[in-house]
Structure formats: C-alpha cells, structure tokens
Structure 1
Amino acid sequence: MRCEIRHTTEYHYPKPAWDSFNEVRLHPVQEVRQTLRSFHLNVTPEAEITSHKDYFGTLVHHVHVHEAHTELRIEAQAIVDTHAVTLPLPAPMSVLEDVRPRNIEFLVPSPRVPAGDWPEIFEVRRPGPKDDLPSFLSDLNTFLYHRFTYDAKATGVNTPLAEFARHGRGVCQDFTHAMLGILRQLGIPARYVSGYLYSGGEMRGAEATHAWVEALIPGYGWLGYDPTNNRLAGEKHIKIAHGREYSDVSPVRGTYYGGGQGKLDVAVHVYGEQ
C-alpha cells in the first residue's frame, strides 16, 4: 500500500516567543515492512534544522527558531510504501530464555510502564514454558481489545497505567502501555511503537499519531500488535519510531523563552491506495 502522510503541528502564543527549540520525531523508518519514498519537513518561521539518530535508531530533527514569533508551524510530509507481514511459525515460550539478556532494555520497568503484577491486575493467565508464544501474543492482543473501552477523553498523556487499569477507558497509548507491562512481567521483550494508521474509517486511533506494541519472537524478529484495534501491525500501519514507552518517541517536544501560555493544534491526515 502507498500512504501519503501530512502531519501539522502549530503553536500559537499570546506574546512573542524566541529561541524555540524542538525535538521532532516524525521521520518514518526504513525497514523490511515499509519503504520510505520521500520526506519533507517545513517550518515557519525560518528555522535552523539539524538531525541525529537517537539511542533507538530514530532520526530526530532539531528545529531551532531564533527570532521572536507568535506562531510556529512544523509540517512533515512523507510518502511510504508498506508491505504485508508474514506470520511467525509456532514457538514455545521457552525460546525466550536465550534472547532476554540481549534485550534487557525492553524488559525492565520504565516511568510510564512501572514494575507491577500487571498480568494479575489485568487478569491475564501466565503462560507455561511449552505454550505457543505467537498464539499467546495474538490472544492477548484480542483480550485487551475487548477488555478496555476506547475513549479519547478518558485519559491524558500523563495518565498513570494503574489509573487506566482501574477505569478501563483510554486511548492507544494506554492500550499499548498495558500490553507492554504484561509482556515485560512475563519475560517477553516488548517495545512501544509510534506511527500512523490508515483507517478508512474502520479503525480507532487514526486521528493523530498512533501507538502499538512490537514483541520479540526468536527466529522471526519483532512483530507488531495493535491492541486498540485487535490487529497485527500490517500494511495500514506506518512506523515512525520505537522505544521503551511514549516518552522515548513523543512526536514533537521543546522549550522556548517568553510567549506566555501557548496553544497547541495538531492535525494528521493519512491517505492510502493499494
């Protein structure tokens, strides 16, 4: 599938701001499941733009606006070809033993996915060493989809995972953090993925950047699971970045002097064709 993405972030300030410095993670990755055809980053007013790759391999753009301004517009445009995923072969849970030491960063607690008895809290059965890993991951994806209610107004970007567990309502970030907490407590390396979703009106979470989980299946690699929509991350999922949690992949964040209390507007449009 060919997908065209336009992601616009606008800041409006009641007073002039200056020395605005932003980290921008909006560049889709190039990997087996997707091919990046083009990417353009447009900033108004004129800005100094540099880039580097972070610890997880994400291309990060640094946008620095020196002059005084009351509006800042950052628009990312990309064209990406996505490809169908292949399914992994059956594999027992015991195959994870050899890969855990090399993927410890995706097993340990993090601020938004803290340590906890998440399998018990979310009422998930702990699998045995002979249980099939791909089947367990697929079943968990389905379970979380039915267990929780998608509600864009129920949580915010800083809502703790424990609060989502109590109320059972939230957005893709919450579904993803919940699945991460469960998998890590079970010794399954798992990472947070940010990206876009071409919905066509049939899936949840397409109005902004989307989030899903990638779990490590030895002998196969990382496979994406979208518990918000009970799907594998396939041709309609466009990946930007991965990390331990949302904080590692937030699309745009920054600082500035002056300006007062700014207003943020974000618009995401994803167009796709087979």
Structure 2
Amino acid sequence: MRAEIRHVTEYRYQEPVWDSFNEVRLHPIRDERQNVLAFDISVTPDVPVSSHRDYFGNLIHHVHVHERHTLLRIEARTLVVTYPSRAPVPARVDSLDDHRAELTEFLIASPRIPTGRWADVFSVTAPLRGDDLPTFVLELTRMLYRRFKYTPGATDVRTPLTDFAASGRGVCQDYAHAMLGICRSLGIPARYVSGYIYAGADFVGAEASHAWVEVFLPGTGWMGYDPTNNTAVVEAHVKIGHGRDYGDVSPISGSYHGSTRGVLDVEVKVYDQQQ
C-alpha cells in the first residue's frame, strides 16, 4: 500500500503559555515491511525542529516554543509504502528458552503494565511447551477481539489495565496493553507498537493513532498482531515505533509554563494513493 498520512495536533489555551517543550513521535520507522518516501513536520508558532533517536531506535522530533502563545499546532505529513508481512515459521513455545535473556526488557513489568498474573486475570490458559507459538499468539489475538468491545471514550491513557479487564470496553491501547500483560506473564517477549491504520480496509482505529503488539517468534523475529481488529499486521498498518508500553511511544508529550489548561484536538487521515 502507498499511503499518505496527515496528522494534525492542536493545543489551544485560554491564557498565554510559554516555554512549551514537546517530544513528537510521528515519523514512521523504516524496516523490511515499510519504507518512508517523504516526511515533513510544520509547527505554529514557527520554531526550529530538531530530532534524535531514542533507546528503541524511534525518531523523535523536538518542538520548543519559548514565546508566549495561545495556540500550538503540529502537523506531520508522511508518504509511506507498506508491504505484506511474511508468514511466521512454526516454533515451539519452549524455543523461547534460548532468547529470553536477551529480551528481558520486553518480559518484565513496565509503568502501564505492572507485575501481575495477567493470564489469570484475562482467563488465558498457558500453552504447553511443545505447542506452536505462532498459533497460540494468533488465537490470543482472536480471543481478545471476541471478549472486548471497542468503545471510543470508554478509557483514556491513564486507565489501569485491571479496569479494562473488568469493564470489557476500551480502545486500541487497552487491547495492546492486555495482550502485552498476558504474553509477558507467560514468558513470551512482547512490545507495544504505535502507528496508523487505513480505514478503507474495514478496520477500526483509523480516526487517531493506532496501537498493536509485536511478539518475538524464534525463527521469524518480531511479528505484529492487532487484537483490536482480530488480525496479524497487514499492509494497512503503518508503524511509527515501539517500546515497552504506551508511555514509550506516545505521539506527543511535553510540558509548558502557565496556569491555564490546554484543549486538545487531533485529526488523523490516512489515504491510500493507489485507490
């Protein structure tokens, strides 16, 4: 898929604020499944934009507005080409024994996924050591899709995972955090992915940034699964970056000086140029 993405974020303030410092994570990653052809970021007020790569290899842009302002507008435009994911090779669950030591950071607790018996919380039976790992992960993806109802506004980024488990309603980051908690509690390395999804493929989650999970499969490597949409990652998915949970790859995070609270408005459009 050849996709054009327009992502606009606006913060409006009743009173002027100043020294607004923001980390922007909107540049898609380049890997075997996708290639970024063009990327542009514009800011109002007009300020220089710098960048660096974080610990996980994600590209972060820095937006620092010193002057007083009542509007901060950040617009990112991207042209990206995506390709089909390769099919995972069969792998026994116990084949993970040789890889866990090198992938510890994606097995232990993180700020939004505390230590817990998450497989029990979500009523997931642990696979046997001789079971096929890709089959188990795909079935887990399907189970989460069937069990929960995608409900915009039912949760926010601060909602505890236990609340999602109890309510049965949430959005993509809740599905992703649930799958991460289950996998990690079972000794399966898994990481959070932030990105976009094309609505024309009849998937939910295209009205904003989307989230899914990558699981490490011996013999294949990292493989993406989207429990919100009951699918392995396909060409309609555009990856921005990955981390331990949402906090590592939130689209925009920052701080400012001033006593007024901002009103946030976000608009995301993903266009398939081949349509």
TM-score by length of 2: 0.98
What letter is aligned with 1:202? D
What letter is aligned with 1:145? Y
Question: Residue by residue, what CA displacement relative to the aligned partner does 1:60-84 show, whole Å, maximum 9, x if unpaired?
Answer: 0110111111111100000000001
The answer for the alignment partner of 1:261 in structure 2 is 261
Could you tell me how far apart the structure 1 residues matched to 2:273 and 2:98 are? 41
Could you tell me how far apart the structure 1 residues matched to 2:25 and 2:251 are? 5
Question: Identical aligned pairs, as a percentage?
Answer: 58
How many residues matched?
Answer: 274
Could you tell me how far apart the structure 2 residues matched to 1:76 and 1:3 are? 14
Q: Which runs of 4+ in 1 moved over 3 A?
A: none
TM superposition shift of 1:48: 2.6
What letter is aligned with 2:102? R
The answer for the alignment partner of 1:198 in structure 2 is 198
Question: Residue by residue, what CA displacement relative to the aligned partner does 1:90-136 show, whole Å, maximum 9, x if unpaired?
Answer: 11001100110000000001121111111111111110110000000
Could you tell me how far apart the structure 1 residues matched to 2:259 and 2:48 are? 19
Residues 40-119 of structure 1 mapped to structure 2, 5 A cutoff? 40-119=40-119
The answer for the alignment partner of 2:184 in structure 1 is 184
Whether the 8 Å contact between 1:13 and 1:259 is mirrored in structure 2 is no
TM superposition shift of 1:273: 3.8
Question: Residue by residue, what CA displacement relative to the aligned partner does 1:155-212 show, whole Å, maximum 9, x if unpaired?
Answer: 1110000110111110000000000000001111000000000021611111100000
CA-atom RMSD in angstroms:
0.9
Whether the 8 Å contact between 2:201 and 2:236 is mirrored in structure 1 is no
Could you tell me how far apart the structure 1 residues matched to 2:225 and 2:202 are? 17
Q: Secondary structure at the match of 1:86?
A: coil
Could you tell me how far apart the structure 2 residues matched to 1:273 and 1:89 are? 32
Could you tell me how far apart the structure 1 residues matched to 2:216 and 2:132 are? 13
Could you tell me how far apart the structure 2 residues matched to 1:44 and 1:112 are? 32
Question: Residue by residue, what CA displacement relative to the aligned partner does 1:35-79 show, whole Å, maximum 9, x if unpaired?
Answer: 000000000111131111001000101101111111111000000
The answer for the alignment partner of 1:156 in structure 2 is 156
TM-score by length of 1: 0.98
Could you tell me how far apart the structure 1 residues matched to 2:228 and 2:94 are? 28
Q: Secondary structure at the match of 2:200?
A: coil
Could you tell me how far apart the structure 1 residues matched to 2:154 and 2:8 are? 24
The answer for the alignment partner of 1:215 in structure 2 is 215
Could you tell me how far apart the structure 2 residues matched to 1:9 and 1:87 are? 36
Whether the 8 Å contact between 2:91 and 2:132 is mirrored in structure 1 is yes
Q: Secondary structure at the match of 1:200?
A: helix
* 1:159–1:20 distance in 2 versus 1, CA, 3 Å: same
Question: Residue by residue, what CA displacement relative to the aligned partner does 1:218-250 show, whole Å, maximum 9, x if unpaired?
Answer: 111100000000011110000001000000000
Identify unmatched segments of 5+ residues in structure 2.
none
Could you tell me how far apart the structure 2 residues matched to 1:201 and 1:241 are? 21
Residues 165-174 or 195-204, more deviating: 195-204
Residues 134-143 or 254-263, more deviating: 254-263
Q: Secondary structure at the match of 2:193?
A: strand
Could you tell me how far apart the structure 2 residues matched to 1:99 and 1:14 are? 52
Could you tell me how far apart the structure 2 residues matched to 1:202 and 1:259 are? 42
What letter is aligned with 1:10? E
Could you tell me how far apart the structure 2 residues matched to 1:44 and 1:199 are? 28
Residues 186-195 or 259-268, more deviating: 259-268
Could you tell me how far apart the structure 1 residues matched to 2:60 and 2:210 are? 18
